[in-house]
Amino acid sequence: MKILLLHSDYMEYEVKKKTRFAEPFEGKGERVEEVLVVFVSVEKGDTEETASRAVDEIRDVAEKVKSDRIVLYPYAHLSSELADAETAVNLLKFMEKELSNEFDVHRSPFGWYKAFKISCKGHPLSELSREIKGEDIELTQALKDEERAVSYWYILTPEKELVEVDRFDFSRYDNLRKFVDYEISKRRAADRTPPHVELMKRLEIADYEEASDSGHMRYYPNGRLIKSLLEMFVTEKCIEYGAMEVETPIMYDRGHPTLRKYLERFPARQYIIKGDKRDFFLRFAACFGQFLMNAQATMTYKHLPLRMYELTRYSFRKEQRGELVGLRRLRAFTMPDMHTVVRDMEEAKQEFYNQYRLSVDVLREIGLEPEDYEVAIRITKDFYKENRDFIHSIAEILKKPILIEMWDRRFFYFVLKFEFNFVDALDKASALSTVQIDVENAERYGIRYVDSDGKERYPYILHCSASGAIERVIYALLEKAFLSSKNGMLPMLPVWLSPTQVRIIPIAERHLEKAIEIANELNRNRIRADVDDRDETTAKKVRDASTSWIPYIAVIGDREMEENLLSVTVRKESTIKNQKKIKMSLKELIDVIKKETEGKPYKPLPMHFMLSRRPSMR
């Protein structure tokens, strides 16, 4: 945003003729005496945050020149990078409202040709200019196309019937109804704080980092442990599936001819970094690096399907501020990203089907069952007609109705995409797992393979994130736990992801040595156990352990030491009204937890095993 500030004896303007961008206005103009006139050019990338900083500049100058009247005068001639008319009018109205709290503000109408006279006072502060940088983003062509796209909405039933959304009976599918309403309305901004935000703070998992850009989080030791375990698990699953793990840069040349074309086809807002001679963009997926690798590889049909995987820590998208909330939508996120080069469409469909099942299995092992999310398929009408039986076969896997969004024509680089979407306590949906069939980028990047007849051909490429962003998985687990508490269950994380899996509580000082001995044995067996050695009552220690969602709480007293047994509260078998307590030996407890966490990655306790030695992270 550029502004020119003139402290004036008077400003007089007359409205002449409207342009096609004109806002509604009645009247001929006005004359304002003893006024600070502010000529304003609203530019691309300007937001309310930009306008708010401009208001601060105007307020500062007005106070210095002792003017209590302000004229806001839209003036396109200060910039060659103007915002669209709607944005400009909205921001000018915002500025008018903000300044009206302290000044007599007159705003001349936007989009009209006007004649004006002005008498500048001529003192040292009477002529000033300011430039307020907006967000350095560029809307890709795909984002623009997405805004213009006309969608046709259907429900595909398990019986393979395609039903228009307004004719489908949602009476037994309340969650699906919420998801459909969210998708069709496209209301992404959060008007309330979702429950997981309070939970992520209270459990010392994550918090906002005010010293960074919006949408960039800090992760405490508990959060880093949960996040790293999920990263390890999804990576192992993709490697087991047959992917080669690679690593690629997080920034790329914005002017690179191939990458530039792909940027235009990807529906994401960009972070731009100014270099000495070139501008760079921060990646919003691992596609760029992996595709450049594939373009240099020598491949034949015998190597296909060829799968490449990277855990991107981080990927970056300049999401809109109103949509940024907690872990649901971020600007910096960790994305497990797998790309599969396939020979032809038949092989692409087989991989799509297999990766759909892989995603179901990955989420289930993480702790998210099919009933916890809704399925969406995005597809072009032509592809659906040509592959109807294949699309219908996908509905058979989970045996639940799924949302179909169909387009008359292809807006993006893919012809088919699925998403698993979690619907939270505020009825907002967020995509987790996804797979896309890409029909453009092999040719764009020059990725070729030699077929059985010796001829070079362009393959198809599948984009897959078997879990979705790691941060969003944590969000879904926290929201699921909150929703379960509404049904009388005790909220908890899966045992393999719980920072502390067993809390040992000694009743008295004489039981502390035994508690430490038990905790050490559990930790030797790769079970995260700690000891509450604080000078608190047993009841408070148990309450604190429950508030921290500890899956197993073991109390040690005289009787337990005599019987050589533990008195254990098992969280997942308890309710808010009735907590299950059982006696078990240490070996039995170890066996139960090992069975429950079998096949999952392990990391040791993220902090000291004695609670008295731990700082509070908040």
Averages of pLDDT over runs of 10 residues in the chain (618 residues) are 95 92 90 96 87 93 94 92 87 94 94 94 91 63 62 91 93 94 77 91 96 94 98 98 96 84 70 82 91 95 97 88 86 96 96 97 97 95 93 90 91 90 93 96 94 96 97 97 92 97 97 96 97 96 96 95 94 84 95 96 96 90
In a domain, 488, yes or no: no
User: Are residues 325 and 216 part of one domain?
Assistant: yes
CA gap 496, 229 in Å, rounded:
8
User: Are residues 175 and 117 part of one domain?
Assistant: no
Predicted local confidence at residue 323, as pLDDT: 79
Q: Residue 223 belongs to a domain with what CATH number?
A: 3.30.930.10
**384 near 407, Cβ under 8 Å?**
no
CA gap 421, 44 in Å, rounded:
32
User: Are residues 220 and 109 part of one domain?
Assistant: no
User: Are residues 288 and 203 part of one domain?
Assistant: yes
List, for residues 418-449, the tens digit of each pLDDT value.
999 999 999 999 999 999 999 999 999 999 99
Q: How many domains does the chain have?
A: 3
The pair of three-digit structure tokens given for residue 474, joined into one six-digit string: 């944590």
In a domain, 490, yes or no: no
User: Are residues 347 and 459 part of one domain?
Assistant: yes
Count CA atoms closer than 13 A to 499's CA, side-chain side.
Answer: 20
Q: Around Cβ 338, how many Cβ atoms within 10 Å?
A: 29
CA gap 301, 78 in Å, rounded:
58
User: Are residues 28 and 148 part of one domain?
Assistant: no
Phi/psi region, residue 549 (left: phi>0; alpha: psi -120 to 50; beta: rest), is left
What pTM value is reported for the model?
Answer: 0.77
**560 near 567, Cβ under 8 Å?**
yes
User: Are residues 81 and 24 part of one domain?
Assistant: yes
User: In terms of residue numbers, what domain contains 603?
Assistant: 495-613
The pair of three-digit structure tokens given for residue 431, joined into one six-digit string: 């995509």
User: Are residues 184 and 325 part of one domain?
Assistant: yes
In a domain, 484, yes or no: no
Predicted local confidence at residue 143, as pLDDT: 58
User: Are residues 461 and 519 part of one domain?
Assistant: no
Q: Cα–Cα–Cα angle for 29, 33, 35, nearest 5°?
A: 100
In a domain, 487, yes or no: no
In a domain, 248, yes or no: yes
User: Are residues 454 and 315 part of one domain?
Assistant: yes
CA gap 329, 323 in Å, rounded:
7
CA gap 248, 243 in Å, rounded:
15
User: Are residues 583 and 517 part of one domain?
Assistant: yes
In a domain, 272, yes or no: yes
Q: At which residue do the structure tokens 């790293």 appear?
A: 228
Q: Residue 599 belongs to a domain with what CATH number?
A: 3.40.50.800
**Nearest partner of 319 among 207, 430, 193, judged by Cα:** 430
User: Are residues 473 and 564 part of one domain?
Assistant: no
